[in-house]
Structure 1
Amino acid sequence: MGWWPMVWGWFFLALIVLGIVVLVVALVRLLGDRPQQPRARTADRSRAREVLDERYARGEIDTAEYEERRHRLENEI
């Protein structure tokens, strides 16, 4: 038999380590993509703020309603 069983043992150990590294990289990539969603929300909020400012400037809403809605937009989660 000789040293062949030891070679196969090291080979399978290397495959296991490689598999773990691949899993970690895949998890990092999956979790790394998540911050893009809040950016979309921020863009939506800024657009909502622009619309609110435009409506206030045109006189469609009064100061009290403008302040209330602006406050809601800034405190929205």
Structure 2
Amino acid sequence: MSRSTILAACLMGVFSAVFGVTGPAWAQGGMGYYGHSGSHMGFGGGFGWIFGPLFMLALIAAIVAVIVLMVRWIGGGSGQIPPQAQPSGKTPLDILQQRFARGEIDKAEYEERRRVLED
């Protein structure tokens, strides 16, 4: 199986788990926990105000994390160094000579640094 097929199957599983299972459960009306219809602030409903939004944020964060990790896995680094990060092939002595030629450093500093590089 290709990585994109695996990603599509996992994303479909996540979305069906979140929206397919909980959607019908939310749609069901009927009697509440203690046989009452509607909501009340007894033992059954008080903690929902606190933990419900926190759980929802945690669930959304987990879904986003899974999607990000899967996209990174699918994209999979090619293992190549980007062009701007590749070494230019110049030696430190070449760079020193260019700096001296541009006038960035004087002759004394050039000689001193050249001696250090050649040792």
TM-score using structure 1 length: 0.39
- Over alpha carbons, which structure has the higher Rg? 2
TM-score using structure 2 length: 0.29
